[in-house]
């Protein structure tokens, strides 16, 4: 599971996530502009000037699109660098960086209505985010088509630790491999840690751009060292090795190539380099040293920003923070992990000074059952982790039901006692339900001609149950071969994982000449393809999924072997939904009604069966328990002809 360092917050533009106390948040609107060409886009704003302290300050950058004028070239199609600067009367800081995606409007994820949110924790800059300032979006694009919107959320409370001071050291885009050498731009800086310092961090944001004859700096992996008092203290690699797992996929360009610490469509993650041994009064010097390199032509460079941050003590002893919900959620930054049935996953950070060894977490669908998950482990101060909780049957029972629902999770205790700060313990998310599959399915894999070795295909698939047991798989596929595997399951939640060792899917337009395209479908036994939200099975971007694709689904017996009546000629309407003690069934498009109405529970058991010879019938459901049920009309003259829908009983 990819670790994401940002936090999703209350009413984030589209109201996707809510904090425990939304009334404690002050919003400041900054830039809202069309990014038409290479330029700086400045907006004057005024930040809060009160003595209020803030638990978190978040900067939310929303990237969108607009329709370019007729004749525009490559409108919104390309991967451009976007840097967001805070400019005060005395200081300038780059607060966040992102790379725009390849975003042709014909791609399935980036129509003209598309937006993507990038959330940056800028709490460390609280002392600078006050009074009048200018926010600058620096857009390095040579075509238009994108929009940029910046908002700040000031969430009241006590931060996890105080920032004693923050200072900009080095910044700029510098040639790499020329005769002068890039290190000349990162001279030694002499510092004395101010009073109250308990630790110090060199935050370094660096991305590689341009290319010589070997692909450097965009497509080469190089290192830099943080020097402390003349000696190497930390070595970091300037490389992003997971672009093929990009949450924003497929894109209309070379999105899956790994690059110099960035991926198209993703935010850039800075390196947080903790300087060892720095406390109040420490006198030290520091600088940055890149690997030696001589460029082979071209114009490789690195774009950099370095901040020295001095931190005071942790403000709490025992404090766990629920940072974000991985699943279930509609948040586009967790697109690959959703939709789900089964087990929810949340992300927790230790924001206290004491190691966390246990937590109790309550969770559930709002309006449904509340479950408790007892977590145990070792989570040191300022460390973070994903927590996957026990299976939640409200998620399972609602699988296949349309509409948007709300999930909630709360940390109720930490290390056997109440958490010191309850304001960061609760999150909610909006989500849609997982799909319903039949108990028996046919998994159809057609491999391309790309091999890991010999004739072994790069592509494989596995189906897991909720205990992470593999219940079916095809891991021995050969290249240029078609497989139709029939899989029979018991009722329950499952996870289908399709993997490609080459991280270029079964089809990608940029593959070398001679590379064939593969296919992957899940079908009913009758041959009907089962749609899979989040995965393209046709069109220009078919099977363009990079390193892999994950699909959660709930298997039920009722969906197997059903031949529906002509949907254009017939109809089944069941209401109210949700229902309590009475259900109305209306049939349309049938000349002579002669059939049986059946109500089935989630295990496929018939709980009501009544003859039906009229176009309208009322069913007594007072004996049914709360839950999701299937209502079927079966033609008595031909049992293969049937209509069905799903309803919820909620008393």
Local confidence band at 558 (pLDDT 50, 70, 90 cut-offs): low
Give the three-class secondary structure for 346.
Answer: strand
- Is the pLDDT at 616 greater than 80, yes or no? no
More confident residue, 194 or 73: 194
More confident residue, 61 or 638: 61
Share of the chain above pLDDT 70, in %: 93
**DSSP letter string, 306-318:** EEEEEEEEES-SS
Query: Could you say which DSSP state residue 419 is in?
Result: -
* Cβ neighbours for 56, distance < 8 A, ≥ 6 positions apart: 7, 9, 121, 123, 153, 155, 157, 159, 424
Is 341 buried (19+), middle (13-18) or exposed (0-12) by CB count in 10 A? buried
The pair of three-digit structure tokens given for residue 272, joined into one six-digit string: 């947080």
Local confidence band at 589 (pLDDT 50, 70, 90 cut-offs): low
Contact 248, 331 (CB under 8 A): no
Local confidence band at 444 (pLDDT 50, 70, 90 cut-offs): very high
Is 115 buried (19+), middle (13-18) or exposed (0-12) by CB count in 10 A? middle
The dihedrals phi and psi of 335, each to the nearest 5 degrees, come to -60, -40
* Cβ neighbours for 203, distance < 8 A, ≥ 6 positions apart: 124, 270, 271, 272, 273, 306, 307, 308, 309
CATH number given to 320-433: 2.60.40.10
User: What gap in Å lies between CA 306 and CA 579, rounded to an integer?
Assistant: 60
Using CA atoms, how far residue 519 sits from 297, 473, 494, 542, in Å, is 41, 16, 21, 8
HEC readout, 169-184? EEEEEEECCCCCCHHH
More confident residue, 604 or 429: 429
133-146: per-residue pLDDT in tens?
999 999 999 999 99
The pair of three-digit structure tokens given for residue 115, joined into one six-digit string: 């937006």
pLDDT of residue 3: 36
Contact 271, 204 (CB under 8 A): yes
Q: Which CATH architecture has domain 564-649?
A: Sandwich (2.60)
The pair of three-digit structure tokens given for residue 290, joined into one six-digit string: 């890149």
pLDDT of residue 110: 94
Among 16, 28, 18, 180, smallest CA distance to 95 is for 28
Local confidence band at 332 (pLDDT 50, 70, 90 cut-offs): very high
- Is the pLDDT at 50 greater than 70, yes or no? yes
164-212: per-residue pLDDT in tens?
999 999 999 999 999 999 999 999 999 999 999 999 999 999 999 999 9
Of the ranges 440-444, 524-528, 536-540, which one carries the lowest mean pLDDT score? Answer: 536-540
- The model's pTM is 0.84
pLDDT of residue 562: 41
User: What gap in Å lies between CA 329 and CA 343, rounded to an integer?
Assistant: 12
Among 390, 420, 395, smallest CA distance to 406 is for 395
Rounded to the nearest 10°, the torsion over CA 586, 588, 592, 593 is: -30
- Is the pLDDT at 569 greater than 60, yes or no? no
Mean pLDDT of 85-111: 95
Mean pLDDT of 27-50: 96
More confident residue, 606 or 539: 606
HEC readout, 95-143? EEEEECCCCCCCCCCCCCCCEEEEEEECHHHCCCCCEEEEEEEEECCCC
Segments making up each domain of the chain, as ranges:
1-159, 161-312, 320-433, 437-559, 564-649
* Cβ neighbours for 402, distance < 8 A, ≥ 6 positions apart: 432, 433
Contact 28, 154 (CB under 8 A): yes
Give the three-class secondary structure for 15.
Answer: coil
Residue linked to tokens 């600058």: 136
User: What gap in Å lies between CA 461 and CA 219, rounded to an integer?
Assistant: 30
Residue linked to tokens 């003259």: 637
User: What gap in Å lies between CA 487 and CA 489, rounded to an integer?
Assistant: 6
- Residue 18 has, within 13 A of its CA and on its CB side, a CA count of 11
Of the ranges 10-14, 71-75, 452-456, 516-520, which one carries the lowest mean pLDDT score? Answer: 10-14
Q: Helix-strand-coil percent breakdown of the chain, rounded to 5? A: 5, 50, 45
The pair of three-digit structure tokens given for residue 473, joined into one six-digit string: 């798989």
Whether the domain at 437-559 and the domain at 564-649 fall into the same CATH topology: no
Q: Which CATH architecture has domain 1-159?
A: Sandwich (2.60)
Give the three-class secondary structure for 557.
Answer: helix
The pair of three-digit structure tokens given for residue 492, joined into one six-digit string: 């329950």
For CA atoms 295, 299, 300, 306, give the dihedral sign. positive
pLDDT of residue 614: 82
The pair of three-digit structure tokens given for residue 573, joined into one six-digit string: 């309407």
- Is the pLDDT at 13 greater than 70, yes or no? no
- Is the pLDDT at 599 greater than 70, yes or no? yes
Among 164, 159, 196, 165, smallest CA distance to 53 is for 159
Among 561, 431, 440, 531, smallest CA distance to 494 is for 440
Q: Which residues are 172's β-sheet partners?
A: 304
Average pLDDT, the chain: 91
391-428: per-residue pLDDT in tens?
999 999 888 888 899 999 999 999 999 999 999 999 99
pLDDT of residue 126: 97
Domain at 161-312, CATH class? mainly beta
347-367: per-residue pLDDT in tens?
999 999 999 999 999 999 999
Give the three-class secondary structure for 244.
Answer: helix
**In angstroms, what is the C-alpha Rg of the chain?**
28
User: What gap in Å lies between CA 429 and CA 232, rounded to an integer?
Assistant: 44
Long-range contacts of 450-457 (CB under 8 A, 24+ apart): 450/479, 450/502, 450/504, 450/511, 450/515, 451/479, 452/501, 452/502, 455/479, 457/481
CATH number given to 437-559: 2.60.60
Contact 99, 79 (CB under 8 A): yes
């Amino acid at each position: 599971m990819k670790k994401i360092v940002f936090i999703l917050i209350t009413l984030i533009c589209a109201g996707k996530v809510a904090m425990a106390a939304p009334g404690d948040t002050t919003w400041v609107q900054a830039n809202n502009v069309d990014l038409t060409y290479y330029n700086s886009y400045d907006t004057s704003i005024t930040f809060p000037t009160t003595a209020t302290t803030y638990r978190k300050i978040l900067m939310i950058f929303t990237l969108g699109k607009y329709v370019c004028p007729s004749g525009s070239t490559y409108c919104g199609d390309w991967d451009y660098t976007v840097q967001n600067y805070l400019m005060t009367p005395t200081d300038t800081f780059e607060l966040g960086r992102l790379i725009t995606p390849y975003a042709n409007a014909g791609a399935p994820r980036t129509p003209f209505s598309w937006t993507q949110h990038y959330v940056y924790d800028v709490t460390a800059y609280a002392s600078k985010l006050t009074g009048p300032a200018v926010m600058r979006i620096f857009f390095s694009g040579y075509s238009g088509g994108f929009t940029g919107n910046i908002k700040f959320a000031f969430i009241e409370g006590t931060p996890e630790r105080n920032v004693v001071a923050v200072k900009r050291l080095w910044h700029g885009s510098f040639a790499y491999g020329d005769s002068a050498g890039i290190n000349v731009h990162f001279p030694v800086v002499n510092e004395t840690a101010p009073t109250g310092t308990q630790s110090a961090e060199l935050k370094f944001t660096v991305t590689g751009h341009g290319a010589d004859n070997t692909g450097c700096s965009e497509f080469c992996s190089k290192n830099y060292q943080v020097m402390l008092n003349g000696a190497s203290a930390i070595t970091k690699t300037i490389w992003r090795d997971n672009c093929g797992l990009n949450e924003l996929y497929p894109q209309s360009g070379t999105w899956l190539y790994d690059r110099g610490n960035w991926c198209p469509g993703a935010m850039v993650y800075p390196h947080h380099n903790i300087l060892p041994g720095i406390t109040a009064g420490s006198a030290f010097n520091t600088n940055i040293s890149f690997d030696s390199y001589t460029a082979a032509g071209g114009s490789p460079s690195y774009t950099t920003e370095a901040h020295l941050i001095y931190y005071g003590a942790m403000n709490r002893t025992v404090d766990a923070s629920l940072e974000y919900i991985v699943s279930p959620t509609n948040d586009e930054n967790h697109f690959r992990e959703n939709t789900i049935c089964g087990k929810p996953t949340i992300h927790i950070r230790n924001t206290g000074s004491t190691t966390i060894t246990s937590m109790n977490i309550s969770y559930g669908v709002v309006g449904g059952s509340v479950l408790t998950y007892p977590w145990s482990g070792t989570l040191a101060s300022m460390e973070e982790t994903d927590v996957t909780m026990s299976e939640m049957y409200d998620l399972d029972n609602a699988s296949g039901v349309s509409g948007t629902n709300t999930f909630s999770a709360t940390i109720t205790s930490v290390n056997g006692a109440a958490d010191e700060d309850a304001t960061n313990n609760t999150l909610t998310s909006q989500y849609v339900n997982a799909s319903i599959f039949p108990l028996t399915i046919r998994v159809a894999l057609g491999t391309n001609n790309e091999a890991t070795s010999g004739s072994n295909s790069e592509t494989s698939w596995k189906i897991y149950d909720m205990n992470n047991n593999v219940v079916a798989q095809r891991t021995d596929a050969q290249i240029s071969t078609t497989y139709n595997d029939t899989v029979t399951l018991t009722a329950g939640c499952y996870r289908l994982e399709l993997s490609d060792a080459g991280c270029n899917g079964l089809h990608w337009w940029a593959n070398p000449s001679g590379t064939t395209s593969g296919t992957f479908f899940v079908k009913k036994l009758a041959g009907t393809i089962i749609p899979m939200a989040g995965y393209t099975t046709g069109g220009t971007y078919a099977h363009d999924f990079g390193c892999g694709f994950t699909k959660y689904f709930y298997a039920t017996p009722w969906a197997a072997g059903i031949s529906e009546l002509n949907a254009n000629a017939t109809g089944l309407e069941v209401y109210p939904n949700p229902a309590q003690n009475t259900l109305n069934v209306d049939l349309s498009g049938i000349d002579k009604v002669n059939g049986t109405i059946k109500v089935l529970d989630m295990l496929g058991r018939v709980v009501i069966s009544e003859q039906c010879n009229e176009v309208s019938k009322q069913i007594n459901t007072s004996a049914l328990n709360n839950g999701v049920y299937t209502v079927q009309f079966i033609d008595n003259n031909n049992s293969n002809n049937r209509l069905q829908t799903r309803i919820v009983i909620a008393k």
